[in-house]
Structure 1
């Protein structure tokens, strides 16, 4: 194998991926800032944020996953210079994601009683409810922004969403400081102050990104006059057919990590707080992987539009190799710094010791997690959504969750056992998805030579 044919694509991959990585990390940094600043209030407050976010992120995964259907449609249209097709996909995506945002926000509010029914510590539930109720409303601007972001990402213009997200983080941290601790005459709202900061920052992201679209010449070909109140049934169904399997993929994956939060909560407040620390750190590296995955989706979608299947596979594998390198570096970092990183979140020796053990497993599953995320991105570029959805379900819920539950609840491993189950699920997912990708690309290459 000539490794250079893959490494030669790294420069292009990185140029596309870095803005997406930074943008996705910006989303996580909102949670990171919340965790750091709420952690100053103690383990119950940090556990409360963890509990509320465990439910929010499950439904958020449905919305964000659904939005990923837009990227391959727009990248394929862009490669073919079919600007009307791209604009219509953008229009339909924004409308669909706006409606979905409202539906999911209402669903979150209706699900609030679940917080008290999950066998969680009572002091944690009391703190979680007001934070959760405010956070629910931020689902609407988050999904509207996500729809616009997928449009710009699909055009390979990934830096503008990055700027919008990182800028909103500055606002979020400032509002957190004011509202959590009661600075500059504001009331000290505690954890719920972090939720208000998140809500405002997510609204601002939309306006920043729309500003770039209105001012930058690169978007000019897509400034086509079409009615925003005229929906095409066939296009809605196409986006739905592409979107719902990806939404369920995200639902299954975020759901397994949310179950780790709930299982840890059953073991105690310190265990749940430690789980939140390890999960937040792992999510940062997951968002780096998401950046590479979006690059795979864009570039595979472009090659699909050009019907160049040889380079499609070569480019996809180059992204997988790039992700493996990044994952190994992340794994080394997690393991070597495991006793130091948790102190950034909380000054509680017991919580830190538990989190340090979890970071050993988090380091081990970096490679599996990275591979499965990027292969999913390549499969999205091929517009293959349905079979991967079921492969993810089997990996996480038929294989991974039973291991999480048994080792976490029925052995002395506790939270460490829960995370071993996550490692098992991610490894099975990476293996099955890669085999699926090889099967599809082999079939495409055969048709190319006929």
Structure 2
């Protein structure tokens, strides 16, 4: 099969993936703006936001992972014109998202004292706690928003979550500016101002997506007259069954990046701030791969339903190729600009913190070399994971992600990330090892399953 058989799918792949990418980038852009604005205050403040968000990322991975169960059920009922099933999936899914959001808030809120036992810099911990108090509350509207988003995706209305995220971003940037730095008569709240901006913007996103969906004929009946506490136990069981493996896959991956933040904290506030810069930049490019992963899940799922397994493989490989090419471009971008990108996050005019800022930029520029290389592994693993979800293969991939990140990646990060070894760069070598292992094992799994499906189909 020649190359054009794969490249001809690129246009449709992009059409399907781009709204998801933009929506995901919107979430990451909130963090990007927070980091740049907070970075102007000093390296301790940037490290504090990093430490506070490390708890948030773990909680978010579980909440967002659970919410993904809503999309396939709603999509199936939409295709079958089954309004009752679709509304039940949305309503029960929204109830689950609300409950999970509240539970995650309490877990994060009461987990704060752990920061003192994790040997993190005391100065950083004391700044992180009041920030985390407010950002933990924002978990509730965030996971509720995910419920609406997954419903929208299932109804093929992918633009509306993107619009709501865009509005949330604008509000977040404005509130950050006035509350962090005390502009236009507002009090100067520092990093707590960033937390207020995040909380208010996420509440607004929930209201706005509901408002948009209420105004559309296709979705109005779904999002109005919701009897929130009249529940369907079978639907809840189905959503939990679908959502749990996805939540664990996300958890295993996010948790190793969170461990990297904590390991960086053992090295001091400047390595932790540098780690946050490299992590924030690489997570933005990762959202492009995540968008393609959703496209892989949808397209592979469609071909599976048609029992067109040869086409399924061709389409999946077109997505793998497209994702890899984009990852190589991002890798080149990080390699070329690795010394310049970290400078966006700090203020070199701040004479008081100049030595700290120079150290942070020096460390972060080295980490971006590691980030450049793992762009490729990271993109492949998330794309193949999306394709496997399209095949409804979730249990073995969950085991693979655990082995890759926690039996391979984390021990390497722990061993090489010590001050007497390679420090921050050693931590990222471990991340690269975990992502590369996951990419290889998940690909072997996908290759095995699709070949088996083609073989059994040819026999019958």
**TM-score (norm. length: structure 1):** 0.96
Aligned to 1:133: 133
Separation (CA, whole Å) in 1 of partners of 2:303 and 2:225: 28
Correspondences of 1:140-219 after superposition (within 5 Å): 140-219=140-219
Q: Which runs of 4+ in 1 moved over 6 A?
A: 223-226
Instruction: Find the partner of 1:353 among 338, 350, 362.
Output: 362
Q: Report which stretch shifted further, 359-368 or 244-253.
A: 244-253
- 1:405-446 Cα offsets, whole Å, 9 max, x none, are 100116431000100110000000011111111222223333
1:84 to 1:45, Cα distance in 2 relative to 1, 3 A: same
Separation (CA, whole Å) in 2 of partners of 1:410 and 1:179: 37
1:322 to 1:16, Cα distance in 2 relative to 1, 3 A: same
Aligned to 2:45: 45
Matched, 1:420 2:423: no
1:142 to 1:78, Cα distance in 2 relative to 1, 3 A: same
- Residue 214 of structure 1: CA displacement? 1.7
Matched, 1:445 2:454: yes
Instruction: Find the partner of 1:403 among 405, 408, 412.
Output: 412
Separation (CA, whole Å) in 1 of partners of 2:45 and 2:226: 48
- Residue 183 of structure 1: CA displacement? 1.4
Separation (CA, whole Å) in 1 of partners of 2:312 and 2:16: 16
Separation (CA, whole Å) in 2 of partners of 1:333 and 1:205: 32
Aligned to 2:106: 106
- Residue 234 of structure 1: CA displacement? 2.2
Separation (CA, whole Å) in 2 of partners of 1:319 and 1:394: 25
- Residue 374 of structure 1: CA displacement? 1.1
- Residue 13 of structure 1: CA displacement? 1.2
Aligned to 1:275: 275
Aligned to 1:362: 371
- Residue 80 of structure 1: CA displacement? 4.1
- Residue 358 of structure 1: CA displacement? 0.2
- Residue 225 of structure 1: CA displacement? 7.5
- 1:245-277 Cα offsets, whole Å, 9 max, x none, are 111111111110011111111011110000000
1:19 to 1:328, Cα distance in 2 relative to 1, 3 A: same
Look up the SS of the partner of 1:15 in the other structure: helix
- 1:97-122 Cα offsets, whole Å, 9 max, x none, are 11100000011111011121111111
Q: Report which stretch shifted further, 227-236 or 291-300.
A: 227-236
CA contact (8 A) 2:214 2:224 kept: no
CA contact (8 A) 1:391 1:429 kept: yes
CA contact (8 A) 1:154 1:298 kept: no
Q: Report which stretch shifted further, 119-128 or 440-449.
A: 440-449
- Residue 19 of structure 1: CA displacement? 1.2
- 1:42-67 Cα offsets, whole Å, 9 max, x none, are 00000000000011101111111111
- 1:137-186 Cα offsets, whole Å, 9 max, x none, are 00000001111111111233211111110111000010001111111221
Instruction: Find the partner of 1:436 among 423, 441, 445.
Output: 445
CA contact (8 A) 1:49 1:131 kept: yes
Aligned to 2:387: 378
Separation (CA, whole Å) in 2 of partners of 1:93 and 1:399: 35
Separation (CA, whole Å) in 2 of partners of 1:359 and 1:353: 10
Separation (CA, whole Å) in 1 of partners of 2:46 and 2:210: 34
- 1:60-112 Cα offsets, whole Å, 9 max, x none, are 11111111222233333334444433332222211111110000001111101
CA contact (8 A) 1:388 1:433 kept: yes
- Residue 133 of structure 1: CA displacement? 0.6
- Residue 377 of structure 1: CA displacement? 1.2
Separation (CA, whole Å) in 2 of partners of 1:338 and 1:57: 25
Cα root mean square deviation, aligned: 1.8
Look up the SS of the partner of 1:365 in the other structure: helix
Matched, 1:391 2:400: yes
Aligned length in residues: 450
- Residue 339 of structure 1: CA displacement? 0.3
Q: Report which stretch shifted further, 278-287 or 211-220.
A: 211-220
**TM-score (norm. length: structure 2):** 0.94
Look up the SS of the partner of 1:380 in the other structure: helix
Look up the SS of the partner of 1:409 in the other structure: coil
CA contact (8 A) 2:74 2:86 kept: yes
Separation (CA, whole Å) in 2 of partners of 1:446 and 1:80: 30
- 1:193-235 Cα offsets, whole Å, 9 max, x none, are 1011001101111122112212224436867987543322222
Aligned to 1:317: 317
CA contact (8 A) 1:401 1:422 kept: yes
Aligned to 1:55: 55
